[in-house]
Amino acid sequence: MLCRSARLSMALLAFPKNQTPLDPAGPQARHIEHTFLLIFWITSIVYAIVIAVLAIGVLRARSREAGIPAPFTPDPAVEKKAARIVGGALIATVILITIMMVSSFVTSHRTAALADQPALRIDVYGHQWWWEVVYPNGAAPSRVIHTANEIHVPANTVIDIHGTSRDVIHSFWAPNIHGKKDLLPGYENDLTFKVDSPGVWRGQCAEYCGMQHAQMAFDIVAQSPDEFEAWYRQQLKPAADPSSPEAERGRTVFLSQACSLCHTIRGTIAGGTAAPDLTHLASRSTIAAGALKNNVANLTAWVLDAQKIKPGCRMPPNLMNSTDLNDLIAYLETLQ
């Protein structure tokens, strides 16, 4: 039975907030939003003025009498007035571009300000097409947590996302939290942010990375410090022993099939690293990097033939009889 805080977290995950930079959940996103709105309104007003001037010119031309135009004779007064208008427009353009440039510099400085503060480090590795999430906790191997596609963080705490890619170029982007950060194979990048209050915000790979790029999502789950600590302690535990004959047999099926070659379940002999750690699979809101809600029907369809759901993913079809499949799902459902 899930504790009350865990059930609340699952409920929040089931209804994540919109993925938008216009609903900032932290100081970095707010700085970015302010700069975006400044540039948006400046460019919108300039666009409206240009269209209005163009429309006036067209209407004036249409109102003139048709026929052969008279030879053009420059009027010094008109030429002088036009020169002043063009000069004023040029000066205004330089001023507006300078304002936008300074605002961008200030935003870059402010979004990087947290990088000098002590932070909770979380390692994020992009894969085709899922996110590996590791809480290294310094040099204490017994305190390291491996999970996938959900990044739990304590609210109002500085977080350092230390990321890279395991295959092609990916880009880590949670627009409610911060700007995007590219993850390149062989290089390591850091993204520092803080979330103001508990909630759930969706993120996405923002660099085209192949066939299932659009279905490479993740959730940032901000919790109170107490709830985060409770979640952390639960994640440290190995998989619970099956509590029913079906789940017991399901564990045998898992360990005897190819599943254990790719996935890890701590507390068992399964130690594969090519795919997500499943030790606490049932505590996650989604599977397949946000492609499906984590429920029995979706989990069954995914295990049976993931290629029908996410063509091109690394998980092959698993041909097994209905009894083995049902028992396997019963076991996976116990991995809280």
Residue 8 has pLDDT above 90, yes or no: no
Residue 40's pLDDT band, with cuts at 50, 70 and 90, is very high
Domain ranges of the chain: 27-113, 245-332
Alpha helices in the chain (DSSP H): 4-14, 27-63, 76-111, 225-236, 245-256, 259-262, 296-304, 306-309, 322-332
Query: 62 is written with which tokens?
Result: 């249409």
Cβ neighbours for 133, distance < 8 A, ≥ 6 positions apart: 122, 123, 124, 146, 147, 148, 149, 150, 151, 218
Q: How crowded is the C-beta side of 241, counted as CA atoms within 13 Å?
A: 1
pLDDT tens readout for residues 235-272: 999 998 888 999 899 999 999 888 888 999 998 998 88
Of residues 140, 178, 172, 156, the one with CA closest to residue 289:
172
**Range picked from 3-17, 24-38, 78-92 for highest mean pLDDT:** 24-38
Cβ atoms < 10 Å from Cβ of 12: 18
> Cα 218 from chain centroid?
5
pLDDT digits (tens, 9 = 90+) for 118-159: 889 999 999 999 999 999 977 677 788 899 999 999 999 999
- Residue 220 pLDDT > 90, yes or no? yes
- DSSP string of 272-289, one letter each residue: --SS---TTGGGSSEETT
> Contact 219/300 with Cβ under 8 angstroms?
no
The Cα–Cα gap between 329 and 297 comes to: 9
The owner of tokens 């107490």 is: 226
Q: Of 269, 226, 230, 233, give the one whose Cα is nearest residue 251.
A: 269
Inter-residue contact 164 to 189 (CB < 8 Å): yes
160-218: pLDDT as tens digits: 999 999 999 999 999 999 999 999 999 999 999 999 999 999 999 999 999 999 999 99
With a CB cutoff of 8 Å and minimum separation 6, the contacts of 181 are: 161, 163, 171, 172, 173, 189, 190, 191
Report CA dihedral (237, 285, 180, 133) to the nearest 10 degrees.
20
Q: For 300-323, how does the pLDDT look when each residue is reduced to its tens digit (9 = 90+)? A: 999 999 999 999 998 888 888 889
Output the CATH code of domain 245-332: 2.60.40.420
pTM: 0.82
